[in-house]
Amino acid sequence: MIRIDALWLCTQSQDMRAGADRLLSVVVNTVGKAQAHHGYLFANARASRIKLLVHDGFGVVRHPTLAHRPVCLGATPGCIGTCTATEPPAV
């Protein structure tokens, strides 16, 4: 199991065809670097699909596109904001 200490939600829609490298570049260009044990959520323009990118301390793991799952919408303004959840997603 991969530990997730914090979730970040990208508030700009992303192309769901993007791979882990492109999504990681969005994180790096926005916050400077990907933090170990942090998860980064990306949604498409219609907010009907999401991707979870997790940095496990050694590399990046992109989890498959998730559809019809609840999404935490408590992000701060900007491209990526922190999202506090009561339970981390099961990975």
- 77: in domain: yes
Structural domain boundaries, residue 80: 28-86
Quick check: is 21 in a domain? no
Residue 79 in any domain: the answer is yes
Task: Please count the residues of the chain.
Answer: 91
**Higher pLDDT residue, 76 or 38?**
38
Residue 76 inside a domain? The answer is yes
Report field, pTM of the whole predicted structure over 0.85: no
The pLDDT, as a whole number, for residue 86 is 37
Specify if 23 maps to a domain.
no
Tell whether 18 is covered by a domain: no
In a domain, residue 50? The reply is yes
Query: What average pLDDT does the segment 55-64 reach?
Result: 79
